[in-house]
Structure 1
Amino acid sequence: MTSPAVPSDAPIQPTEGYAGDISPQQACAWLEAGEAVLVDVRTDAEREWVGQVPGAQPLAWKQWPGMAINPEFDKGIRALGADGRKLVLLCRSGVRSIAAAQRATELGLTAYNILEGFEGNPDAQAHRGLTGGWKFRGLPWRQN
């Protein structure tokens, strides 16, 4: 199976420590083509209250309260990447997913960070979801 073309405005950005940074649009294309597993590394509360991507696999990198590393992360990410498919990791703004992608890579998996995350960075009024992110890009999501 070949990867869909990367949008010209958002090529895969090489990085050190994991496979690279990709746009939300590229991650969605890989997910829809069955070429990658989307792993949502946000907390359970974030997924439930803010929204989630249909088909994403929930596996928190850190858990509330205290934002301690999830002791089940290594076991869970190994299971999700066991078939050798690419893993694309999503968090709120694309920061926690970098750390999670680095850990997945240390475990021998192919992991990418999704730039902008689910909600993107805050705007001048400290509001998220208005300047970037999965939701802002109009990609599939739902909210409970």
Structure 2
Amino acid sequence: MSTDTGPAVQELLPTQAWGLLESSPNAVLIDVRTMAEWSFVGKPDLSNLSRAVITIEWLRYPDMSVNPRFVEEMNEALGDSKPSQILFICRSGARSMSAALAVQASLAGDTLCPDLFNVTEGFEGDLDPKKHRGGLNGWKAHGLPWRQS
């Protein structure tokens, strides 16, 4: 559903995001975490779907400033492809929502907008009682495909 500010940003759990990626060949997943996170923590693996995750930092490491070229870099990464859905993921779902809202604002007035989704819980999920991520919820905890470089 579109509004004056662009398409609504919907939320999906990681398993729902995987289901959407499986069923929609035009859907793309954009990981907005930092290069350090992709390298040391890992990232979703879409190779079983014959696709790759698009990686674009929303907040730039190490100062964690907003990437002013995020939307431009996303458009460059997409090239001529016109995804039907764009899913955004980060560590726990906050940065990815901010990135999705920035894309939403950039699409205001566009009548051929893709559906936008934030992956709640993110890649690593929330902190558990021992202050660790990756076991309580999130992409990894749900047993979805991922790899570490």
TM-score band (shorter)? 0.7 to 0.9
Confirm or deny: 8 A CA contact 1:78 1:107 kept in the other structure: no
SS at match of 2:124: coil
Partner Cα separation in structure 2 for residue 111 and residue 133 of structure 1: 19
Amino acid of the structure 2 residue aligned with 1:32: E
Q: Which amino acid aligns with 2:106?
A: L
**Deviation by residue 1:78-112 (Cα, 9 ceiling, x = unmatched):** 34385142110000000000100101111115321
| Distance in 2, Cα, partners of 1:133 & 1:18 | 22
Structure 1's unaligned 5+ residue stretches are 1-16
Report the equivalent of 1:3. Answer: none
Kindly report the root-mean-square deviation, in angstroms, between the aligned alpha carbons of the 2 structures: 1.9
Query: Does residue 88 of the first structure (1) align with residue 87 of the second (2)?
Result: yes
Paired residues for 1:10-21 under 5 Å: 18-21=8-11
Q: In the alignment, what sits opposite 2:48?
A: none
Count of aligned positions: 129
Q: Which has the higher strand share?
A: 2
* Contact 1:89–1:101 (8 Å) recurs in 2: yes
User: What SS is found at the alignment partner of 2:98?
Assistant: helix
Please say if 1:130 is aligned against 2:135.
Answer: yes
SS at match of 2:132: coil
Give the TM-score normalised by structure 2.
0.79
81-90 vs 33-42, which moves further? 81-90
Q: % of aligned pairs identical?
A: 40
